[in-house]
Structure 1
Amino acid sequence: MPHLLITDDDTAIRDLIAEIAGEEGYTVAQAGDIRQARIQIERQKPDVILLDMQLPDGDGMEFWTDLGLTGTQVVFITGYSSVDSAIQALRCGAVDYLLKPVSLRRLRGVLSELKSLLQKHPLPGASDCFAKMIGHSRAMQLLCAHIEKVAPTQATVLLVGESGTGKELAAEAIHLASPRHEKPFMPVNCGAISPNLIESELFGHEKGSFTGADRQHKGYFERASGGTLFLDEITEMSMELQVRLLRVLETGRFMRVGTHEEIAADVRVIAATNRNPEQAVANGTLREDLYHRLSVFPLELPPLRDREDDILLLADYFLQKLNEEAHTQKTFAPEALKAMSEYAWPGNIRELRNYVYRSYILADTVIKGDFNSFELESHSAGWGSEILVPVGVPLADANKQLILATLKQCGGVKKAAAEMLGISLKTLYNRLEEYGAAGEVDESSSFR
């Protein structure tokens, strides 16, 4: 049974938590202050500590940091909630943060989840599989739990989520938590490769198979052998190539361009799209049979607006990385933290990261967060703009209108337009070439 140490100066709270923890299958020890907590830890190392932030003989977070316990999970409890204290708790490695009066329902949920986590046997390579997936929100906990379930299998996975939600990081986490973790993980952006070259890039080609093929080329399926191939923006793949991909998934074999010799494909495929896949099927940009083959195990990545508990944690993570790289100690002002937590982040994690980076560059020591101007810039670039498309207009024409209107709103800045549209910069260039509109864009801007 997992062992829990409750450290709080309120005897009634300790007794109540102890009773609930016992019902949840924990053995329990109690301490009213730091001195008693040290004694209990020497008697038996706890698997979980519920720790009050303010104790009669010291600061709970400082006590936890000084302990340096490995293999023990900590959940902080406080009656004095603030944004700063929440960030400090997460920095200290807390798995959760409970406010007094403690919600019994939430307490049971936390204890139940921690117990399940403690009872799981780690998968090969899973120890650090979530290292890049920053967040402790319920939505992220659920996503990570699903990843742990599907990772050991050979099931194809379809990741669905808005642009900037971290689909490649989720795909890499699946790979790292799988038996394939020691083999290559190869991400491929299907929208960033020219339609004329993507077949060769995926499956390879033989020397002389087409003009310019002066040597044999191994494609991603061969180079990722034994590992995982991540196909992002799957709806950008041509219908003809989707047929070939479906055949590979069904037979486990493929052929290089220019040969009829089949090669075994020992690759796990994870695909992703920032569109509604069912709508993509209805629109004719994704084959229905391929959709069903890819979505053996669909996973939806939550947008940042549904991960409120993670916004400040991510912002602090990005800032600390910048501080480490530049040997600085810049911090967020309270008004910046408040503004970030209240903003909807339509561009998700990518937008938040860009905001932190820009603010870091502009700030001296404290990021006060001229957030209003940042938000205005986002909206003036077209977040709130609209175009009117009559019913019955072909989808290709509607896409053209949307892309050109977005590019115009962005002042011809292709990178900004691509991010707003949720497509790669290469995809945008390809579309502009199709429309014969590349020359209409002002190439003099240095902000590409």
Structure 2
Amino acid sequence: MGHALIVEDDADSAKMMAALVGAHGFSAATARSLQDARRQMAMQQPDVVLLDLMLPDGNGMALLDEQDLIGNSEVVLVTGHASLETSIQALRYGATDYLIKPVSAKHLQSILSRVTRPSVLRAEVDHLLDDLRQSSCFGHLVGTSEPMRRVYEQIARVAGTSVTVLLAGESGTGKELVARTVHDLSRRRSRPFLAVNCGAISPNLIESEIFGHERGSFTGAERQHLGFFERAHGGTLFLDEVTEMSPALQVKLLRVLESGTFMRVGSTTPQETDVRVVAATNRDPDEAVSSGALRRDLFYRLNVFPIDMPPLRERQEDLPLLVQHFLQEMGQREGALKHATPAALQRLAQYRWPGNVRELRNALQRAYVMTTGDEITDQWLPRDVLVEPAAAASRREMLEVQVGTPLAEVEKRVILATLEHFGHQKERTAAALGVSLKTLYNRLKEYGL
């Protein structure tokens, strides 16, 4: 049985929360002031502290500075309203989540169901750091370069909290793997992790897929459908290519992030959800805001904890580790281990990899299949891939656009010209444009191609 300490000066609120906590199998103690809270924690270390900010003898945040008392307790702030400032404040002071008054029984139940002492989470991070030294892996990620170590440090810092994370980086840099690692190190790891590529779902269906719909809400809706927010309840929802959402849908996403509620398509009944959102974009977030692809207010709400993913060309020292990792995976799956020769590694290192780690994996997969022995040489590594950057870039065609051309037309002309330049190789076209392959296919479908 876990033990909860409720630090709340309002007797009725404290009594109500104590009853809710007790109904979920926790013993509960209450404190009406900071002094009383210190006394209670000295007598019994709580597993979780529900901490009101406004107390008669000071601000509740003062307790978070007393690590000898509260350092091994999960802290949940209790506040009168949800805001971006609350999220940032919770992260800065080490709180893992926050509750909004009046306290939702469903939200409190979700928090209690995943109570984990900070020392347990710290031990898991330490274990991953040991793995990094031994196997060059950190969770789902591979690499020991300085740029990746900065990413690992940020993951370790944010995973134990509930704040929203925004991942920015080129296509193929491993943003979903970061999201999965954040989930696996969080208190939500026993709950679902769902990944949604917002650019791969038809604009006509994406709202229904994310928020769900009621039976009969539109033609073809023959039964009720639960969206990703409901299916991910208690867990983590990864929204990839979030800038591909329409402005109208971005407004609804903002509402969920701020209020924790949404409505299914065709319904007027609000649904509560407790989901940690990790969003990602392969565009520069500031440019996406300036161009109107991302609402400024949604950007501020998503950008509570930004993580920038380095492209593969900025972590070249990780290339041999990635090659070894992918070939080991392929060998275990296919039943025949193969390795890259020094000549193959040298040729791979000559390329800038616009498609990043994803493109590297695909190139190795082809070479693995075509190699009959156990040594992968440079024979089956694509020649055009290896020749590209400096020399080829100077030979690329130029595209002239008249001032005043609609942006949709500019985008179409750039996509088609790039596709033509790369000989209709869609994967290389998508990599050069900085979009996912699914997004490219969607655009070509719109153009009737």
Give your verdict on TM over 0.5. yes
Is 1:349 aligned to 2:345, yes or no? no
| Per-residue deviation, residues 361-411 of structure 1 (Å, max 9, x unmatched) | 222222121357142576789995542334443322211111111222343
Aligned 8 A contact 2:341 2:376 in 1: yes
Is 1:216 aligned to 2:224, yes or no? yes
Aligned 8 A contact 1:159 1:271 in 2: yes
What secondary structure, in the 3-state scheme, does the structure 1 residue paired with 2:123 have?
coil
How is 1:237-248 mapped onto 2 (pairs within 5 angstroms)?
237-248=245-256
Q: What's the counterpart of residue 31 of structure 1? A: none
* Sequence identity percentage: 52
What secondary structure, in the 3-state scheme, does the structure 1 residue paired with 2:239 have?
strand
**Counterparts of 1:148 and 1:398, CA distance in 2:** 41
Tell me the C-alpha RMSD between the 2 structures.
2.7
**Counterparts of 2:398 and 2:184, CA distance in 1:** 42
Is 1:388 aligned to 2:400, yes or no? yes
How is 1:192-341 mapped onto 2 (pairs within 5 angstroms)?
192-341=200-349
**Counterparts of 1:309 and 1:205, CA distance in 2:** 48
**Counterparts of 1:406 and 1:153, CA distance in 2:** 42
Aligned 8 A contact 1:332 1:368 in 2: yes
**Counterparts of 2:382 and 2:225, CA distance in 1:** 51
Q: What's the counterpart of residue 154 of structure 1? A: 162
**Counterparts of 1:165 and 1:324, CA distance in 2:** 24
Aligned 8 A contact 1:151 1:178 in 2: yes
Is 1:132 aligned to 2:140, yes or no? yes
- 2:192 aligns with one of 184, 196, 203: 184
- 1:406 aligns with one of 397, 411, 418: 418
**Counterparts of 1:194 and 1:382, CA distance in 2:** 37
**Counterparts of 2:212 and 2:124, CA distance in 1:** 33
**Counterparts of 1:416 and 1:304, CA distance in 2:** 15
**Counterparts of 1:299 and 1:385, CA distance in 2:** 34
**Counterparts of 1:174 and 1:386, CA distance in 2:** 42
Please state how far the C-alpha of 1:337 moved relative to its aligned partner: 1.5
Q: What's the counterpart of residue 378 of structure 2? A: 369
Deviates more, 1:292-301 or 1:403-412: 403-412
Please state how far the C-alpha of 1:419 moved relative to its aligned partner: 4.0
Please state how far the C-alpha of 1:162 moved relative to its aligned partner: 0.5
Please state how far the C-alpha of 1:333 moved relative to its aligned partner: 1.6
Q: 1:239 to 1:224 in 2, by over 3 A?
A: same
Aligned 8 A contact 2:121 2:160 in 1: no
Q: What's the counterpart of residue 122 of structure 2? A: 121
Q: What's the counterpart of residue 444 of structure 2? A: 432
Aligned 8 A contact 1:124 1:181 in 2: no
Please state how far the C-alpha of 1:125 moved relative to its aligned partner: 11
The residue type paired with residue 368 of structure 1 is: T
Q: 1:253 to 1:173 in 2, by over 3 A?
A: same
**Counterparts of 1:315 and 1:130, CA distance in 2:** 16
**Counterparts of 1:386 and 1:429, CA distance in 2:** 23
**Counterparts of 2:410 and 2:385, CA distance in 1:** 27
| Per-residue deviation, residues 103-132 of structure 1 (Å, max 9, x unmatched) | xxxxxxxxxxxxxxx999324897589332
Q: What's the counterpart of residue 96 of structure 1? A: none
Q: What's the counterpart of residue 92 of structure 1? A: none
The residue type paired with residue 341 of structure 1 is: A
| Per-residue deviation, residues 14-59 of structure 1 (Å, max 9, x unmatched) | xxxxxxxxxxxxxxxxxxxxxxxxxxxxxxxxxxxxxxxxxxxxxx
Q: 1:385 to 1:225 in 2, by over 3 A?
A: farther
What secondary structure, in the 3-state scheme, does the structure 1 residue paired with 2:194 have?
strand
Deviates more, 1:140-149 or 1:422-431: 422-431
What secondary structure, in the 3-state scheme, does the structure 2 residue paired with 1:427 have?
helix
Q: 1:385 to 1:369 in 2, by over 3 A?
A: farther
Please state how far the C-alpha of 1:357 moved relative to its aligned partner: 1.1
Please state how far the C-alpha of 1:239 moved relative to its aligned partner: 0.5
**Counterparts of 1:270 and 1:198, CA distance in 2:** 17
Q: 1:303 to 1:285 in 2, by over 3 A?
A: same
The residue type paired with residue 173 of structure 1 is: T
Aligned residues: 320
Q: 1:303 to 1:383 in 2, by over 3 A?
A: farther
The residue type paired with residue 373 of structure 1 is: R
**Counterparts of 2:123 and 2:184, CA distance in 1:** 12
Q: 1:321 to 1:381 in 2, by over 3 A?
A: farther
Aligned 8 A contact 1:252 1:264 in 2: yes
What secondary structure, in the 3-state scheme, does the structure 2 residue paired with 1:271 have?
strand
Please state how far the C-alpha of 1:148 moved relative to its aligned partner: 0.6
